[in-house]
Homo-oligomer: A and B are copies of this chain.
Amino acid sequence: MKAEPVKNEDEPKDKRLKGGDAQKLTMAEVAKYVGVSAMTVSRAFRQDASVSEETRKRIMEAVDALGYVLDLSAGSLSSRRSGFIAALVPSINNSNFSDTARGITDALEDTGLQLLLGYTDYSAEKEEKLIEAMLRRRPEGIILTGGSHTDRARRMLDKAGIPVVETWEIPEEPINHVVGFSNSEAMSLLVRALASQGYRRFGYIGGTTARDTRGSQRRSGFLRTVEELGLGPGRAISFGVPPISMEQGGQAIVSLLERWPDTEVVLCVSDLSAFGAIMECKRRGMRVPEDIAIAGFGDYEISSICHPSITTINVDCYGIGRQAAARLLDALQGSGETTGDEITLTGYRVVLRESTDRSAQ
């Protein structure tokens, strides 16, 4: 029987090219250095634990002197708490969603929870893969965008037994918690607001694919409302795959106006395409809103700055993130008291700006 099957001390060969002394420092070594047990060191790292102030101080000094950094992967294994929250957004380049991500991060500050962020690129398949990758890290909760998931994704989430928050829309079959709003209703509100200003011939830019459910909902909200108001069939144009870029917004409005030249106002699936559309119009010498009025969705920073400023729907992106995280924290700390499956509706409002200013016409 071999007494020494393990290499006790890894010889500092050229294992690490980098400078630092890369010996692994453990809690036990810190403990020995201070003259306490590892358990006491562990306790010193958590604020609730009972360690005398004097001992904690000595431990922390040692931690500092030795340069010890807590190892959470070990900790989470034994405590069975990963300290992770997972969040999936369609895109991190879209500032609406990165605002939501920021809201989540901010809400998580000082909770000891860390955000694992992934982007699905508007694909349910990619979402499924990401969900699995995330679950392998055993997150304590997960925040999703939208309510459209593959069956396997649903099964995995169900099995995981962790709180789930779906955001940014109201799913038909919520998994668990929801923090969102009706994209269809929001777009409807915008149509009504513009109709009440006297606009009659409405156009729409934005596709209807399974990839972007929120976009589809906005579109259907548009079509339904135009119909309801008796303003004939809405004139809707699809262009490219979601998310529609600024450039595609420009191309789309050209098509739309070629097909229906007498259109008075065009609503876009997002401010980005609205911006592209407006700029294309200006480039072609058309005046906005005098010749054509254009509105967007999402109230991106660009829309208030742009000249003309862009009429839009303001959505509380950051708040969605904060509230989603808050729901999760609640579910985690609330010891199961809170009834799950509640829907938190977030607000939105029409922001009328120059791009649809009727008085200019």
Contact = CB atoms under 8 A, between A and B. Distances in A.
Given A114-B133, A305-B275, A336-B14, A20 B158 contact: yes
Contacts of A247: 301, 304-305
A124 B282 CA distance: 43
Interface in A228-259: 245-247, 250
A283 B302 contact: no
Contact of A119 (B20, B102, B162): B102
B336 A21 contact: no
A135 B69 contact: yes
A157 B119 CA distance: 28
Contact of A20 (B5, B20, B99, B160): B160
Interface in A94-116: 95, 98-99, 101-102, 105, 114-116
Interface residues on A, range: 35 or more
Interface in A152-180: 154-164, 175-176
Interface in A44-94: 67, 69-74, 76-77, 82, 92-93
Contact of A302 (B17, B114, B246): B246
A4 interface: no
Given A72-B137, A93-B99, A305-B275, A17 B336 contact: yes
A154 B7 contact: yes
Contacts of A114: 116, 133, 137
Contacts of A261: none
A282 B305 contact: no
22 contacts: A5-B151, A17-B339, A18-B162, A18-B176, A20-B158, A21-B159, A69-B132, A69-B156, A69-B160, A71-B138, A73-B137, A74-B77, A77-B77, A92-B92, A95-B95, A114-B116, A114-B133, A246-B301, A247-B301, A276-B305, A279-B306, A283-B307
